[in-house]
Chains A and B, each alone.
Chain A
Amino acid sequence: MTDTVLLTGLGIISAIGTNVPESIDSFRKHRSGIGPCRYLGTIHKNIFPLGEVKLSNKELAVMHDIDPGLSRTILLSYHAAKAAFDTIPDLAGLDYKKGFISGSSVGGMDRTELFFEDFTKDKFSGDLHDVMNHDCGKPTDFVAEKLGFTDFVSTLSTACSSSANSIMLGSRLIKAGKLDIVIAGGVDSLTKFTLNGFNSLMIVDKEQCRPLDESRVGLNLGEGAAYVVLMSDKVAGDLAVSPYCSLSGYANSNDSFHQTALSNEGNGPFLAMEAALRMSKLTPGQIDYINMHGTGTQNNDMAEGKAVERIFHPDYPKLSSTKSFTGHTLGASGAVEAVFSAIAIKDGVVFPNFKYENQMSDLNIVPVTKFTENLKIENVLSNSFGFGGNCTSLIFSKVN
């Protein structure tokens, strides 16, 4: 049994890049991935800018020799998980227990909504191929089987904290001695279902979103997938892999206030951050960077901001919301931001908000506005807060 779980590999795809170097380069060049969508067939195409991955289903399928008729969720998930998998040395002949854990909020909904275009009018119509991968577990199974990570397979769905919870579960299973190597993360693809759903809540911005800005009006929806490779320090040593960082703290709490809104004081976020700090045995002053959940909605940024101030006042670490570059990738966001957090520590960088002009009148915190290098980043706090009050905070720490 181990107490230390390390992140030794990363895989990511989002609106700002199809791999880690491309993503970091987008931050460096201050290039947001949010803009008019190309592939999502929605009537709101020219109204809401989206964080769409800049590859069609066909292009993704050809890259990996997969059926292009599969759900985009499967294609994105496999792309990122394979990248993470490729960082692991050859395990042939080694008897490690391997697990794959993925988080998603709407699974194969991109195809299901196509099915319903026919099914709604006639219960005997609709192509069954479009609905057979609807449930969130199907993309996970596809990827797990293809990568051979099948000793433990599971899918979580806690809205925007899904993949953060996947990473947390992976770590707990390693510490309990149930698994040796885990690929954990999450995925969500853009769908009319989610775009229209968020629009019905009137929290989507028709312009580039402005998290933590006084003038913010809402989020930009995005899509993507990201996975991290987790293993104990012993296994990492045996395989001679050098880690990006450790997962030194994590916590999951429920705001328990309202189905879609966080409490004004950010109680759920506060509990999650505080418990994660307690677990990592770090003081607030030791956190060098906070990757905020920062969706750009009135409610989230206020509640999260208030909770951050309750814990970190008066000395705030550098902080930002990378959703201003990627859009809100829903179930994938926790893992996407875990990847950015790991890079922050490994490369000594912090990421900026894309567009920020006006400090929030009720808060003291101000985000970073420029990509900054050559920093000593030892501990990063990453927040993921979702519908249903599901709050998860992860803390990543430098390994000596």
Chain B
Amino acid sequence: MAVYINGLGIISPSGFSGSETFSDWEIPQVDSRMKCIEPEYGSFIEVKAIRRMSRIIKMGVSSSLMALKEAKVESPEAVIVGTALGCLEDTVSFLNKLVINKEELLNPTAFIHSTHNTIASQIALNVKCMGYNSTYVHRNISFETALLDAFLMLNEKSVGTVLVGGIDELTDESFVILQRLGYYANKLNSGNRDDDRSMTAGEGSAFFFLSNEIMETSYARLADVCSVSFSSKEKVLETAKRMLNENGLDKVDLVLSGSPGSTDPYGIASAFSKAQAAIHFKEFCGEYPTAGAFGMYVGASILQQKKLPANLNAVISMPAEPRHILIHNNFREVHHSLILLSAC
């Protein structure tokens, strides 16, 4: 059963859907962190509903509504979200109060909005979907597992449409903690702008409307998705090879890589990309657990526009009309993910 990406909604450090198209986006200036450029949320969500929503919920609900609007659909049959760190702002707010007020006088709103599934349930409330609803929270494959679930559902034919997305926010506190834990580019600082940029802390929200039906405006076909965990480099390459072969391919036209810097540490691009080099999508969104969703957005956009955006400045030779793109994402080796997109 073919699965098509018929709508998408993005809020990222490079821009958001509805503003200029991807190919006009500016690559963010490198600083210690990349912050999302946000739309006017009031144009998507009722004022009465907005008052209680923290930033990440506004981002998730808005990008979901953007995706549905583009697909010209009121409501999906299922909502699946991937978010590794969930609603950090509300979690930290409640934790701080817990300490300062010594377990007294605590605000219920912060608590009820701190749970990871708040995003998926607020989306369901706003798009009026009483169908299947799930949230995946497994580190840097949270989005890809959500996507696998969506892909499975559509192949099981239990639903005909799914809204699926990946979202993580960066707050002042989480940035300090993750820096202290050594997550970002301190070690690199190689002087190479590309390397530093894709190890910079980032955040974002990317939601996709998937359907069994192809439309004139469909972005791309989601051909396959999987995760590879606790495996050797050889196993990662073997899994990628098997994925391509099962889809009738030896190579793809382009590899989008979530590996840090401008390196190709797993040899995915050199093994499988006709273009040889990879494009490092985290240059546009920074490093965060569900950045793979942004990568899928980049891949889908390239396939729909049938060209490589000029602002990528990539020294890449690619066929005039790319037909297949492989997105490889990982963070610190433990979990890898592979998403295969094909032109419609």
Q: Are A135 and B117 CB-contacts (below 8 A) given A156-B136, A158-B133, A193-B98? A: no
Contact call B229/A135, Cβ cutoff below 8 A: no
Select the stretch in B39-47, B124-132, B187-195 that faces chain A.
B124-132
Nearest A residue (CB) for B92: A116
Chain A residues numbered 115-132 whose CB sits less than 8 Å from any CB in chain B: 116-117, 119-121, 123-124, 128, 131-132
Q: Are A165 and B112 CB-contacts (below 8 A) given A196-B103, A196-B106, A197-B94? A: no
- B306 contacts chain A at the CB level, 8 A cutoff: no
Contact call A150/B134, Cβ cutoff below 8 A: no
Residue from B84, B120, B155 in contact with A176 in the complex, judged by beta carbons closer than 8 Å: B155
- A259 contacts chain B at the CB level, 8 A cutoff: yes
Give chain B's interface residues, CB within 8 Å of chain A: 79, 84-86, 92, 94-96, 98-100, 102-104, 106-108, 111-118, 120-122, 124-125, 128-139, 141-142, 145, 149, 152, 155-156, 173, 176-177, 180-181, 227, 229-231, 334-335
Collect the chain B residues with CB atoms within 8 Å of residue A158's CB. Answer: 117, 120, 133-135
Chain A nearest CB: distance from B97 CB in Å?
9
- Docked Cα-Cα span, A158 to B86, in Å, equals 11
Collect the chain A residues with CB atoms within 8 Å of residue B107's CB. Answer: 200
Query: Which residue among A112, A117, A154, A387 has the maximum number of chain B CB atoms within 10 Å of its CB?
Result: A154
Contact call A131/B135, Cβ cutoff below 8 A: no
Collect the chain A residues with CB atoms within 8 Å of residue B112's CB. Answer: 197, 201, 259-260, 387
- A144 contacts chain B at the CB level, 8 A cutoff: yes
- Docked Cα-Cα span, A42 to B114, in Å, equals 20
Collect the chain A residues with CB atoms within 8 Å of residue B85's CB. Answer: 135
Chain A residues numbered 52-90 whose CB sits less than 8 Å from any CB in chain B: none
Contact call A157/B95, Cβ cutoff below 8 A: no
Nearest B residue (CB) for A330: B115
Q: Are A150 and B117 CB-contacts (below 8 A) given A137-B84, A137-B137? A: no
Residue from A112, A135, A172, A256 in contact with B95 in the complex, judged by beta carbons closer than 8 Å: A112
Collect the chain A residues with CB atoms within 8 Å of residue B115's CB. Answer: 105-106, 157, 159, 387-388
Collect the chain B residues with CB atoms within 8 Å of residue A318's CB. Answer: none
Ranked 9 nearest A-B pairs via Cβ: A388-B121, A197-B111, A157-B116, A137-B139, A254-B133, A137-B138, A150-B230, A200-B108, A120-B99
Contact call A154/B141, Cβ cutoff below 8 A: yes
8 A-B pairs in the complex with CB atoms less than 8 angstroms apart: A104-B137, A105-B116, A131-B177, A156-B135, A254-B133, A386-B117, A387-B115, A388-B133
Q: How many residues of A contact B (CB 8 A)?
A: 66
- A153 contacts chain B at the CB level, 8 A cutoff: yes
Residue from A124, A156, A389 in contact with B134 in the complex, judged by beta carbons closer than 8 Å: A156
Chain A nearest CB: distance from B90 CB in Å?
11
- Docked Cα-Cα span, A255 to B125, in Å, equals 9
Collect the chain B residues with CB atoms within 8 Å of residue A197's CB. Answer: 94, 106, 108, 111-112, 114
Collect the chain A residues with CB atoms within 8 Å of residue B128's CB. Answer: 256
Q: Are A141 and B103 CB-contacts (below 8 A) given A135-B85, A197-B111? A: no
A113-B95, A138-B139, A158-B134 given; name 13 further pairs at CB < 8 Å.
A116-B98, A121-B99, A132-B181, A136-B116, A156-B137, A157-B117, A157-B136, A158-B135, A172-B152, A259-B122, A267-B130, A386-B117, A387-B112
Collect the chain B residues with CB atoms within 8 Å of residue A128's CB. Answer: 180-181
Residue from B121, B152, B156 in contact with A390 in the complex, judged by beta carbons closer than 8 Å: B121
- A370 contacts chain B at the CB level, 8 A cutoff: no
Contact call A390/B133, Cβ cutoff below 8 A: yes
Contact call B84/A135, Cβ cutoff below 8 A: yes
Collect the chain B residues with CB atoms within 8 Å of residue A124's CB. Answer: 180
- Docked Cα-Cα span, A111 to B35, in Å, equals 28
Collect the chain A residues with CB atoms within 8 Å of residue B141's CB. Answer: 154
- Docked Cα-Cα span, A254 to B144, in Å, equals 22
- A265 contacts chain B at the CB level, 8 A cutoff: no
Collect the chain A residues with CB atoms within 8 Å of residue B106's CB. Answer: 196-197, 199-200
Contact call A259/B121, Cβ cutoff below 8 A: yes
Contact call B95/A116, Cβ cutoff below 8 A: yes
Contact call A157/B137, Cβ cutoff below 8 A: yes
Contact call B134/A252, Cβ cutoff below 8 A: yes
Contact call B108/A153, Cβ cutoff below 8 A: no
Contact call B100/A120, Cβ cutoff below 8 A: yes
- Docked Cα-Cα span, A117 to B141, in Å, equals 30
Chain A residues numbered 232-275 whose CB sits less than 8 Å from any CB in chain B: 252-257, 259-260, 267-268, 271
Chain B nearest CB: distance from A194 CB in Å?
8
- Docked Cα-Cα span, A200 to B102, in Å, equals 13
Nearest A residue (CB) for B178: A131
Q: Are A145 and B230 CB-contacts (below 8 A) given A158-B117, A193-B94, A255-B130? A: yes
Contact call A116/B130, Cβ cutoff below 8 A: no
- Docked Cα-Cα span, A196 to B111, in Å, equals 9
- A282 contacts chain B at the CB level, 8 A cutoff: no
- Docked Cα-Cα span, A92 to B302, in Å, equals 45
- A220 contacts chain B at the CB level, 8 A cutoff: no
- Docked Cα-Cα span, A169 to B106, in Å, equals 35
Chain B nearest CB: distance from A300 CB in Å?
15
- Docked Cα-Cα span, A201 to B84, in Å, equals 26
Chain B nearest CB: distance from A263 CB in Å?
10
- A91 contacts chain B at the CB level, 8 A cutoff: no
Collect the chain B residues with CB atoms within 8 Å of residue A159's CB. Answer: 115, 117
Collect the chain A residues with CB atoms within 8 Å of residue B129's CB. Answer: 254, 256
